[in-house]
Amino acid sequence: MAVKDYYKILRIQRTASTNDIKKAYYRLIRLYHPDICGNTPENMRRFYEIDEAYKVLGNLENRLRYCILLNKYFLDELFLFKNLKIPYFNNRKKSQQYGRMVIEY
């Protein structure tokens, strides 16, 4: 399942504030509104994508759910490739002394 990147659709960073999201939404809606730039299928598609992205990112609760979903998606994609030669996943050595911490002075 592919997850849409709403941050990319609104052309903002993942750390954007609520005001930044609102400004980006209004700026893009003016660009792709069917009454302003024409009623073509491509403009309508972009208009509805931008509106959907704002509905998700504009509300804090929906944005948190989306961030959890997005992180889960990226982790699943990462673990699909765990058989590759990635040093972090393949060369982990387990220590023989579990739960012991040595502090040297």
Which amino acid does the sequence have at 57? L
State residue 29's pLDDT score.
93
Confidence (pLDDT) at 71: 85
Domains and CATH numbers, the chain: 6-90 (1.10.287.110)
What pLDDT is recorded for position 39? 85
Averaged pLDDT, 34-39 = 85
Q: What is the pLDDT of residue 99?
A: 54
8, pLDDT greater than 60: yes
Note whether 56 and 66 are within 8 A (CB): yes
Check whether 105 has a pLDDT greater than 50: no
Q: What is the pLDDT of residues 53-101, one digit of tens each?
A: 999 999 999 999 999 988 888 877 777 665 555 555 444 455 555 555 5
Distance, in Å, from the CA atom of 44 to the CA atom of 50, rounded to the nearest integer, reads 10
pLDDT of residue 93: 53
What does the alpha-carbon distance between residue 16 and residue 1 come to, in Å, rounded to a whole number? Answer: 26
Confidence band (pLDDT; 50, 70, 90) for 17?
very high
